[in-house]
Structure 1
Amino acid sequence: MPAAGLHTLVVDDEQPVLDELVWLLGRDDRIATVESARSGTDALQVLEAGEIDLVFLDIAMPGLTGLQIASLVGRFRHPPAIVFVTAHDAHAVEAFELNAVDYLLKPIREERLRESVRRVCESDATTADPDATIAVELGGVTRFVQRSAVAVVEAQGDYVRLHTTGGDSHLIRTPLSTLAAAWADVGFARVHRSHAVNLAHVVELRTHAGRSSVLVDTGATPTEIQVARRHTRELRDLIHHRAR
C-alpha cells in the first residue's frame, strides 16, 4: 500500500450506492482519497490518469460493464486493485478470473468493506498470495476453494480442471498457459502441455529410462503426472530449491 494511503475510485450507476460507498471509505484511515464515477466511460477517464490504486467496481451498468472495465484495466502497465461490488453472485467466477482482490455483495456492510481494504493492503495488488480464494462453479452454485489446496491443474481446451488435495475437482474458464504464468510466483510449475503442479504437494520425482514423472498429493492415492523432457531440468531445479 502506498505510504500516504490508497487513492480510490468508486464506480456505480446508482447514486445512493455510490454516495454510501464514498462515505464509508472516507471513514477508513487507509484510504487517502476517494473519487467517484457513474459510468464505465467516466471511470476509464479517471483510471487513464494513472493515479488510482484501488477500484470498487459495480458489475451491471449500462454501456461498459464492470467486467469489461476490469478487463481493460488489466492491460495497464500498473493496474489498480479491483474489488467488485454487485447485487448478485452470478459473476463471481468471471470476477476472480480477472484477478479481483475481492467480491462484495450489496447491501454493503462497513465491516465487510473494511475487510476488502485490508485484503488490498496485504496483497498490494501485485503480491502473489498462495492462499488466494478461487471461485468455482458447479451446477449453477458458486463455491470458493483455497489456491493452496490445488495440487494439479489439468488443461481441458479453453478451461482447466483444478484437482485438490481433498480429491475434489473444479472446472474454471482459463487456459492453462494463462493460469500457469499467473500462478508461477506462488509455487506452480508447468510440467507438460496439459498439466501444471503445485510444488508444495509434490511427494516424489521419478526418473526411469530417460522419462520423468512426479507423484502429487491429490487425496488418498497420489496422482502420477508425466513430465515433458523440456520441463524436466527446470522442475528438478525448482523442487531442489524448494527443499533447501
Structure 2
Amino acid sequence: MGLSALIVDDEQPARLELAHLLQQVTPVDTLDEAGTMVDALARLQEKRYDLVFLDIRMPGVSGLEAMQVINRLPDPPPVIFVTAYDEHALAAFEVGARDYLLKPVSEARLRLTLGRLLDRRRENGLARVAHDRLPVEQEGHTRLVRVADIRFIHVRGHTVYVRTFDAEWASRASLAELADRLAPQGFVRVHRAYLVNPEHVLEVHPFFAGTYILRMDDRGNSEVPVSRSSARLVREIFGL
C-alpha cells in the first residue's frame, strides 16, 4: 500500500519536481498539493496524510508558524521541511519536524528520509500490536489475548492466570510484571494476588473490615477480593 502525502510550496515548479521525485522513490496512493498555507491547513483538517512536505518560507504564514497548528491536530502527520535555506534547521526540529531537506532535493537524500520514516512506522505498528495483546500459554503454544478482553489476572499456587469472559490461561510473567505492563491500560492491583481491569467490574460489594468484593462481567460473574490497603483506590476509581 502506498503513501498519502501533501506537498506544500508556493512555487508550482517546486511542487511538481518534488511530486515527481517522490513517485520515483516510493509507491504513492494519494499525492495532494497546496500553494498556500491556508489551503494546506484546511486540507489537514479534513484529511489524514502519512506525510507532509512543507516549505519553510511561505507568504503570510511560515512553515514554522503552521507547525503550531499542525501539532494541535488530533493525529498530527509527520512533517518534513523542504527549503532552500539551511539556517532554520534547529528551529524546525524544535517544533517537531521529522527531517529537513535542502532544495534541490536529491533522490538519494529522499530515499534515506523515507526509509527512516517507514522503519519507524513499522516499529510503531509492531509496538501497538504488542501493547494491545498479551501472550499466554495454551496447550504447548503461545496465544495472544486482547488486553481489552481480560477481566482479571490472579495467582493460584505458583502460577499466574489470565481470565477473559469464558476462558483462563497461564502466563509466564509474574503478577508484578503484568501490573507494570498493564498499568497504562488502566489495570489496577487490588490485592496481592489479583490484578483487575476496572472496565469489566459489574458490582462493588462492601465486605469485612472496610474491604470490598468486586463482581466481574465474565461468564461466571467471578468475585475478586479487594485488600484493605487497596480499598481507598477502589473507592476513588468508582467514585464510592
Bigger Rg, which one: 2
User: If the length of structure 2 is used for normalisation, what is the TM-score?
Assistant: 0.49
User: If the length of structure 1 is used for normalisation, what is the TM-score?
Assistant: 0.48
Bigger share in helix: 2
